[in-house]
């Protein structure tokens, strides 16, 4: 039994714990009555406002409604604690509902008893239940609201149910032989509604059975006359049959009485647990079901779901979660924060928490990966992991995804990874490539069909779905985006056909602004303040930051929840239902006000015992003024250090750059030593993030500032600490102060820590290697020997890997070729022994090049895949590019030149975008490979001349071949005379093959003889493939060309036979990848 009793029959009354409580004013009474009439269903705020204010609602109607709701809650739940969730008058988007048992409202109890009676066959029990139902009807329904449509409609409905109940009770009473008791009840009933034929029939039958035949016939005749006079109709078959049987004294009249039909409403039900609903995605759900089935058979699989903002990727994930949960799957979700201020890899911390780990190790990427893996292994059923908003993922999040995909490969785990394609960066693209083997689906969610749009409009604005014009305009303006359609439909329902919503706004933000404008002003302000705190926030924090009355804040949040702009993911927290809602509010808030609110949030967060460093930096940067910029710089620096510790170099780089901007804003408030440390951190982050073009200027600036501080100078000079697989010293390098500073440091600090001296040597090697390759390798080779000796003696694994990295990199040229594989083997061993993932990936990359040099293509591909698998977030994009470039090389070798061209150009664009050193020059080299394979370099003559206008000694042999193919022999002669020695680096063999052809075509016998002698030891190889990025024919073919030029036909024939053997072996190796060469130049494989 409920301690609340509400009566709708007769005057509206409310009793709580047996005592009548006063509802002051007509509007609160109307609100309660309107919700009671809904019988537990949710009534939208718009519907309540329209029903209560029958005239034009006042401008602040929603605010007034919230006040009435608050007052009613105090009446209905007087003992409810402050801020405890309401249990009787509840908020449920898009409005409110009463949550009471059936016996708490007389009208509800009446209908519940009717349903119970309808389900019972035993006459006495039916009679008891019907009598109890009729006892609930103590008067007219809501007479004080009789002039309102909603109350009048309900009164009519309940009156019809009551009339049917009277007749049901009369019929069962006749079954029980209670004719005498039935007669007066039916007479009163007919007095109220004389045209009810069933009541006439039952009364006549009761009178006949009571021995009053004449009275029975008199009632039948009177009914006939009333029907004819008032309606112009004859009595129905039931009355005519009864009259005939009475006149005939039929024995049937003494038997059972037919049971009248009873119209019974469905019972009111409490709102079910929220289940996501999805429109128009049946095909996608089918493919996801198939992916789930594959997981149960084969282990971990990944599904990528790409969709732009509002297209429904999160809703699709919710529906999949619901479907799989009903099949016994476990579900864990993590979301990449859509605003700054969260710790790196936060999505995985949420997954770990969802799997039962109360305190995952958010301070360490490796520890967090272990925590997540351990939590997954405790799950005994298949697991769905939803990673939402991966376009916002930091490097640590993506690295953990790759790592866990490898570590949990045999577990039944389906990873549903959702992202926005337009915001996907190179790291995410690289992750797609890295996880290609376990990816089972790539779904792209487009716009809804016309049927889907119509369904959404029907759900949110019933009636408007039948207007083809509305649907046509929505299709034109929204492109079928579900969020846009839904928001417009809600606006349409709120403003009505006469409102401005009949004209589709230009964008979804305009729709949201109009919906927000319907909220009370105080509620909009509260939402703007919540938007400053992020997509999701703690209500207590919001209360502190807003410094507003608690009820005012809570009322504002509740209004937003009811309007579908916020939801409540957990007790005490609110979350914007879509990032666009938060973004619209945030961007529409004046910058000055935003900054003040950020400052208030910062002050409050600082009071926490263990404040979140990333959140402090987010608010500090957003609130920064010249007076507070130094503090913001310190916060950003600390957050950058945290990001580096979590292997998130991209996030660290962004934060370090922000910290440096704050130092500029602060004037002289940030000490120079602190600025140097920020620059050192930026250099390290950019280096580990693969952004050499951002690392080098930061290092140069740090070195310049640290000139008077030996300790900081050493740290600055050696701040570029990352595995290096590509030159970091571009042709356009103007850091002329770095090399002499490094040389001087080695002289000035002979007693420095041995590991530090290793790093000085390594930095000097990579600063000088580009020039040394051209002008002499002896010095850098000596440095690499010293670095390696120091590193092996000092016992510092990272320094040893760096020294091995430098020596192995130099060994990519011809001078240390014999050392290459032993060096790489040692590098791999040390990296694996000390769990140095970045250097382990680098070792596999070197092994990939070693296998390529041997023309062992299958092993090369295997090692490249291992390099990608082991890569850190900063390495991943570059290594995926390496694999893509190698695919282009293999296409060239297979004669698939159109495919090679497409791949080369795609990767070149990515290299330029990500800031790799010499990326533009590499793009030209790729074009040279394609032109060489097509046996026509003429189109590149002017391009190469342009390159040489900037870098005079760059690949002169290639320029000469281009000019010769273009018929420009005189220019070729001029440039041939200007040529410099070929740089002895990773492109040495490729360039020597080109030089051999240029020398032969220029008729330079001395150059031919020198080239022949240098190339002979390299016979049996493909020229350039040891770089992993180019192929300029076989070395044997280049030797044959030289032998012809030198007048040695026998040697030429021998070398051409060798070239044929290399081509045959290459074709056999490629046959498993492509059955036969196709496309492009059929002679291309012959040039391999």
1088 confidence band (pLDDT: 50, 70, 90): very low
User: What's the DSSP call for residue 11?
Assistant: S
For the chain, percent of residues with pLDDT exceeding 90: 45
Q: What is the pLDDT of residue 984?
A: 87
Higher pLDDT, 351 or 1078: 351
How many whole angstroms separate alpha carbon 241 and alpha carbon 385? 70
Q: Could you tell me whether strands 330-335 and 383-388 are parallel, antiparallel, or unpaired per DSSP bridges?
A: parallel
Confidence at residue 955, expressed as pLDDT on a 0 to 100 scale: 86
Instruction: Tell me the two tokens of residue 799.
Output: 């320094």
Reply yes or no on whether the pLDDT at 788 is more than 90: yes
CA 62/CA 466 separation, integer angstroms: 29
Helix, strand, or coil here: 59?
coil
pLDDT digits (tens, 9 = 90+) for 980-993: 889 888 899 999 99
Residue 621 pLDDT grade (very low, low, confident, very high; cuts 50, 70, 90):
very high
Domain extents in the chain: 282-446, 451-518, 608-711, 929-1087
CATH architecture of 929-1087: Alpha Horseshoe (1.25)
Question: Higher confidence at residue 26 or residue 1061?
Answer: 1061
Which has more pLDDT, 516 or 382? 382
Residue 1078's pLDDT band (cuts 50, 70, 90): very low
Chain-centroid distance of CA 206 in Å reads 72
Helix (H) / strand (E) element for 63: namely helix 61-76
> Quick check: 437 pLDDT over 70?
yes
The pLDDT of residue 403: 83
1080 pLDDT more than 60: no
DSSP bridge partners of 648:
none
State residue 845's pLDDT score: 94
What average pLDDT does this structure show over 535-545?
Answer: 91
Min mean pLDDT across 332-336, 507-511, 559-563 is at: 507-511
Give 722's pLDDT tier (boundaries 50, 70, 90): very high
Buried/exposed code over 371-388 (b: 16+ C-beta within 10 A; e: otherwise): bbbebbeebeebbbbbbb
Give Cβ neighbours of residue 8 (< 8 Å, ≥ 6 apart): 33, 36, 37, 105, 106, 107, 141, 142, 154, 158
What class, spelled out in words, does domain 608-711 have in CATH? mainly alpha
Contacting residues for 1053 by C-beta, under 8 A, at least 6 apart: 1040
Residue that is written with structure tokens 């410094």 in the block: 547
Q: What average pLDDT does the segment 713-736 reach?
A: 82
Residue 346 has pLDDT above 70, yes or no: yes
pLDDT of 916 over the 70 cut: no
**Which of 336-345, 696-705, 791-800, 822-831 is least confident?**
336-345
Residue with tokens 């590509």: 726
Alpha-carbon span 113 to 265, nearest angstrom: 11
Spatial contact of 996 and 1044, defined as CB atoms under 8 Å apart: no
Residue 329: predicted pLDDT: 93
Residue 211 has a pLDDT of: 76
| Residue 898: both structure tokens together | 């159109």
Report CA-CA distances (Å) from 124 to 178, 256, 637. 11, 14, 82
**Please, what is the average pLDDT of the chain?**
86
| DSSP assignment string, 649-711 | HHHHHHHHHHHHHHHHHTTT-S-HHHHHHHHHHHHHHHHHTT-HHHHHHHHHHHHHHTTT-HH
Mean pLDDT lowest for which of 301-310, 331-340, 725-734? Answer: 725-734
**How many CA atoms lie less than 13 Å away from 881 in the CB half-sphere?**
26
pLDDT at 469 over 70: yes
Whether the predicted pLDDT of 1085 surpasses 60: no
CA distance linking residue 557 with residue 528, whole number of Å: 11
Query: What pLDDT band is residue 1075 in, cutting at 50, 70 and 90?
Result: low
CATH homologous superfamily, domain 282-446? P-loop containing nucleotide triphosphate hydrolases (3.40.50.300)
Tokens of 173: 């009473």
Predicted pLDDT of residue 412: 94
957 token code pair: 């042999």
From 146-155, 368-377, 475-484, the region with the lowest mean pLDDT: 475-484
Q: Compute the half-sphere exposure of residue 705: CA atoms within 13 Å on the CB side of its CA.
A: 19
State the maximum Cα–Cα separation within the chain, in Å, rounded to a whole number: 141
Beta bridge partners of 43: 96
**Is the pLDDT assigned to residue 749 strictly greater than 70?**
yes
Res. 605: pLDDT tops 70: yes
CB–CB of 333/390 below 8 Å? Answer: no
Classify 301 as helix, strand or coil. strand
Do the two domains 608-711 and 929-1087 of this chain adopt the same fold?
A: yes
More confident residue, 654 or 515: 654
pLDDT at 567: 87
Q: At what angle do helices 837-853 and 797-810 cross, to 10 degrees?
A: 20
Closest by alpha carbon to 512, among 587, 580, 418, 425?
Answer: 580
Q: How far apart are CA 724 and CA 721, in angstroms?
A: 9
Least confident stretch, 186-195, 225-234, 245-254, 960-969? 245-254
Is the per-residue pLDDT at 525 higher than 50?
yes
Q: Which two tokens stand for residue 843?
A: 């070792």
Listed residue (852, 853, 854, 913) closest to 883, CA to CA:
852
The two tokens of residue 830 are 């040390």
Question: In this model, does residue 558 exceed pLDDT 70?
Answer: yes
pLDDT at 1087 over 50: no
For the beta sheet containing 301-306, the strands, ordered from the edge strand earlier in sequence to the opposite edge, are 330-335, 383-388, 413-419, 301-306, 439-444
Whats the size of the chain, residue-wise? 1088
pLDDT band at residue 596 under the 50/70/90 scheme: very high
Q: Where are the beta strands (DSSP E) in 350-456?
A: 383-388, 413-419, 439-444
Query: Looking at residue 406, what is its pLDDT?
Result: 83
Distance CA 302, CA 404 (A): 11
φ, ψ dihedrals at 160, nearest 5°: -65, -40
Q: Which residues contact 74 (CB under 8 A, 6 or more apart)?
A: none
What is 730-799 written as a DSSP string?
-TT---TTHHHHHHHHHHH-TTS-HHHHHHHHHHHHHHHHHHHHHH-SHHHHHHHHHHHHHHHHHT-HHH
**868: CB partners within 8 A, 6+ apart:** 430, 433, 434, 841, 876, 879, 880, 883
- Please tell me the least confidently modeled range out of 166-170, 238-242, 284-288, 726-730: 726-730
pLDDT, residue 65, reads 87
Please give the pLDDT value at position 726. 77
pLDDT band with cut points at 50, 70 and 90 for residue 691: confident
Please say if the pLDDT value at position 273 is more than 60. no
Contact yes or no for 620/595 (Cβ under 8 A) = no
Residue 454: predicted pLDDT: 87
In this structure, are residues 881 and 426 in contact, taking their beta carbons and an 8 Å threshold?
no
Report whether 1030 contacts 889 (CB < 8 A). yes
Mean pLDDT of 413-437: 85
pLDDT of residue 497: 47
Cα angle for residues 961, 965, 967 (degrees, 5° grid): 115
Q: How far is CA 268 from CA 98, 112, 271, in A?
A: 10, 9, 9
pLDDT tens digit sequence for 102-121: 999 999 999 999 999 988 88
pLDDT score of 1083 more than 70:
no
pTM of the model: 0.72
pLDDT at 341 over 70: no
């Amino acid at each position: 039994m409920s301690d609340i009793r509400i009566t709708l029959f007769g005057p509206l009354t409310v009793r709580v714990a047996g005592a009548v409580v006063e509802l002051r004013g007509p509007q609160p009474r109307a609100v309660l009555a309107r919700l009671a009439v809904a019988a537990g269903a949710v009534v939208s705020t718009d519907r309540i406002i329209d029903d209560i204010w029958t005239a034009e609602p006042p401008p602040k109607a929603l605010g007034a409604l919230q006040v009435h709701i608050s007052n009613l809650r105090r009446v209905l739940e007087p003992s409810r604690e402050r801020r405890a969730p309401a249990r009787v008058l509840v908020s449920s988007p898009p409005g409110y509902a009463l949550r009471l048992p059936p016996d708490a409202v007389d009208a509800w109890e009446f209908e519940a008893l009717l349903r119970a009676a309808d389900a019972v066959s035993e006459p006495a029990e039916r009679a008891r239940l019907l009598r109890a139902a009729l006892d609930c009807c103590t008067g007219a329904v809501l007479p004080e609201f009789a002039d309102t449509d909603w109350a009048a409609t309900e009164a009519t409905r309940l009156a019809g149910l009551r009339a049917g109940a009277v007749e049901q009770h009369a019929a069962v009473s006749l079954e029980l032989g209670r004719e005498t008791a039935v007669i007066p009840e039916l007479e009163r009933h007919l007095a109220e509604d004389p045209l009810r034929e069933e009541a006439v029939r039952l009364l006549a039958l009761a009178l006949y059975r009571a021995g009053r035949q004449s009275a029975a016939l008199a009632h039948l005749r009177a009914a006939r006359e009333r029907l004819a006079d008032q309606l112009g109709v004859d009595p129905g078959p039931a009355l005519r049959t009864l009259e005939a049987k009475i006149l005939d004294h039929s024995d049937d009249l003494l038997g059972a009485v037919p049971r009248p039909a009873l119209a019974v409403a469905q019972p009111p039900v409490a709102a079910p647990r929220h289940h996501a609903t999805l429109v128009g995605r049946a095909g996608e759900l089918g493919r996801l079901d198939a992916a789930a089935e594959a997981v149960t058979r084969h282990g971990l699989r990944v599904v990528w779901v790409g969709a732009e903002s509002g297209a429904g990727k999160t809703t699709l994930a919710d529906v999949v979660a619901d479907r799989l949960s009903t099949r016994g799957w476990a579900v864990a979700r993590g979301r990449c924060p859509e605003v700054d201020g969260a710790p790196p890899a936060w999505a995985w911390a949420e997954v770990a928490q969802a799997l039962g780990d109360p305190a995952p190790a958010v301070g360490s990427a490796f520890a967090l990966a272990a925590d997540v893996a351990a939590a997954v292994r405790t799950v005994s059923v298949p697991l769905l992991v939803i990673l939402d908003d991966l376009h916002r993922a930091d490097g640590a999040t993506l690295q953990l995804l790759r790592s866990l995909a490898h570590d949990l490969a045999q577990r039944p785990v389906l990873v549903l990874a959702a992202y926005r394609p337009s915001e996907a960066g190179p790291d995410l693209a690289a992750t797609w490539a890295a996880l290609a083997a376990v990816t089972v689906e790539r779904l792209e969610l487009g716009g809804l069909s016309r049927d889907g749009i119509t369904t959404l409009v029907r759900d949110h604005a019933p009636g408007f779905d039948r207007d083809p014009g509305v649907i046509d305009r929505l299709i034109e303006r929204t492109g079928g985006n579900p969020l846009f359609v839904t928001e417009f439909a809600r606006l349409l329902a709120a403003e009505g056909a006469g409102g401005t919503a009949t004209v589709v706004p230009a964008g979804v933000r305009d729709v949201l602004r109009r919906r927000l404008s319907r909220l009370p002003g105080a509620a909009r302000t509260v939402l703007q303040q919540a938007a400053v705190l992020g997509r999701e926030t703690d209500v207590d924090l919001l209360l502190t930051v807003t410094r507003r009355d608690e009820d005012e804040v809570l009322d504002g949040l509740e209004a937003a929840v009811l309007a579908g702009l916020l939801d409540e993911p957990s007790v005490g927290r609110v979350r914007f239902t879509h990032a666009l809602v938060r973004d619209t509010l945030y961007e529409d808030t004046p910058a000055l006000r935003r900054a003040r609110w950020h400052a208030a949030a910062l002050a409050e967060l600082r009071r926490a015992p263990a404040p979140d460093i990333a959140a402090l930096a987010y608010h500090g940067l957003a609130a920064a003024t010249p007076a507070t910029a130094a503090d913001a710089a310190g916060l950003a620096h600390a957050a950058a250090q945290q990001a580096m510790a979590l292997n998130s170099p991209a996030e660290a780089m962004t934060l370090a750059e922000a910290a440096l901007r704050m130092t500029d804003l602060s004037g002289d408030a940030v000490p120079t030593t602190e600025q140097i440390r920020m620059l050192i951190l930026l250099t390290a982050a950019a280096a580990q993030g693969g952004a050499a073009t951002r690392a080098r200027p930061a290092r140069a600036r740090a070195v310049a500032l640290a000139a008077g501080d030996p300790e900081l100078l050493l740290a600055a000079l050696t701040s570029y600490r990352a595995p290096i697989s590509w030159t970091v010293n571009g042709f356009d390098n103007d850091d002329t102060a770095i090399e002499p500073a490094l040389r001087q440091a080695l002289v000035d600090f002979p007693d420095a820590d041995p590991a530090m001296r290793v790093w000085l040597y390594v930095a000097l090697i990579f600063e000088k290697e580009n020039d040394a390759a051209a002008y002499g390798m002896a010095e850098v080779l000596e440095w690499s020997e010293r670095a390696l000796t120091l590193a092996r003696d000092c016992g510092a694994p990272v320094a040893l890997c760096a020294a091995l990295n430098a020596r192995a990199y130099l060994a990519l040229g011809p001078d240390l070729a014999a050392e290459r594989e032993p060096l790489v083997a040692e590098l791999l061993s040390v990296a694996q022994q000390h769990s140095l993932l970045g250097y382990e990936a680098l070792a596999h990359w070197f092994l990939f090049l070693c296998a390529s040099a041997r023309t062992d293509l299958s092993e090369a591909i295997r090692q490249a895949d291992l390099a990608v698998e082991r890569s850190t977030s900063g390495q991943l994009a570059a290594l995926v590019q390496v694999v893509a470039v190698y695919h282009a090389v293999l296409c060239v070798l297979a004669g698939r030149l159109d495919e090679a061209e497409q791949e080369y150009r795609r990767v070149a664009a990515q290299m330029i975008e990500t800031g790799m050193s010499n990326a533009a020059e590499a793009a030209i080299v790729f074009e040279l490979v394609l032109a060489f394979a097509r046996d026509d370099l003429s189109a590149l003559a002017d391009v190469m001349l342009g390159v040489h206008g900037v870098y005079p000694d760059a690949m002169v042999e290639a320029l000469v071949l281009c000019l010769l193919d273009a018929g420009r022999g005189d220019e070729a002669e001029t440039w041939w005379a200007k040529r410099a020695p070929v740089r002895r680096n990773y492109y040495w063999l490729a360039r020597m093959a080109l030089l051999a052809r240029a020398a032969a075509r220029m008729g330079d016998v001395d150059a031919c003889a020198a080239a022949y002698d240098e190339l002979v030891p390299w016979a049996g190889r493909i020229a350039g493939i040891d770089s992993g990025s180019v192929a300029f024919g076989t070395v044997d073919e280049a030797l044959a060309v030289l032998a012809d030029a030198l007048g040695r036909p026998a040697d030429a024939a021998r070398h051409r036979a060798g070239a044929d053997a290399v081509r045959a072996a290459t074709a056999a190796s490629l046959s498993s990848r492509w059955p036969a060469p196709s496309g492009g130049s059929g002679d291309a494989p012959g040039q391999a």
